[in-house]
Amino acid sequence: MNLSLDQFTEIVRARRSTRHFDNQPVAPELLDKLLEAARWSPSAFNLQPTNFVVVTDQKLKEKLYPACMKQAQILEAAATVVFTGDRNVVEHHFEKTLRQDREARANNREYENLLRKNVPLSFNRGFLGIEFLLKFLIEKIGGIFTPIPKLQAVHRDYWLAKQVSIAAQTFLLAAEVAGLATCPMEGFSERAVRKALGIPKEQAVILIVPVGYADNSARTKTRLPLAELVHQNSW
């Protein structure tokens, strides 16, 4: 790797949200490279729940525009990427990713057996949500006596939001390296976005990112001092 830590830090510091774009198109091949970078982001259990809906068609942008509170960047940016998380990712990806890892010798048999035990235990909700209720009670009551992580069966969308956001951050930084501007957005109606783009209900709409070339207006940002945010060893 030729990139130094200082160079990477400069990339992070240079990236900022852009709310106005110049309508210059972005080559599809370049968009694919950004998505390829995001695809390699880490995810828990390697389940890879993130999906990308890439909107470049002007008529679809106009449908998406009111769903995103009529924010101008939806219409101005060359493309808008809707980041979604698969609520049924275990059923869709678990066996597939296990097989890929086995063939690539990325995991040993012991770790695969551990995943086969823990993933269903963490995600399954059971018939009519019976396991959901049980796991909710285990988490709430059992957590009083022993450390218990948030169980995916209870906090599915919360878990998805974390996984998808990791991929989105990779996309944002890749776009900065490519000379493109981005604007991660939470201001949207999930129901309206889903309807505008035909996104199935099993997909949680987590984040929307317009991407393109900035309109060259001045872009600055600030951050709180590191000393106010870091707590060494304990709070």
Q: What pLDDT, on a 0 to 100 scale, did the predictor assign at position 23?
A: 82
pTM (predicted TM-score)? 0.92
Find the helix or strand (DSSP H, E) in which 68 lies: none
pLDDT averaged per 10 residues in sequence order, the chain, 235 residues:
90 93 95 98 97 98 98 97 97 97 94 94 81 80 83 90 98 97 97 98 98 82 94 95
How far, in Å, CA of 210 to CA of 182, rounded?
6
Helix (H) or strand (E) holding 86: strand 79-86
Judge residue 108's burial from the number of C-beta atoms within 10 Å of its C-beta, 0-12 exposed, 13-18 middle, 19 or more buried.
Answer: exposed
Query: What is the pLDDT at residue 211?
Result: 98
Q: How far apart are CA 74 and CA 21, in angstroms?
A: 9
- Let me know: does 93 contact 40? Beta carbons within 8 Å: no
Asked whether the beta carbons of 184 and 168 are under 8 A apart, the reply is: yes
Fold for domain 5-87+164-228? NADH Oxidase (3.40.109)
Q: Would you state the structure tokens that stand for residue 63, as one six-digit string?
A: 């449908």
C-alpha–C-alpha distance, residues 201 and 218, integer Å: 39
- Cα four-point dihedral sign 107, 113, 119, 122: negative
Question: Where exactly are the structural domains of the chain?
Answer: 5-87+164-228
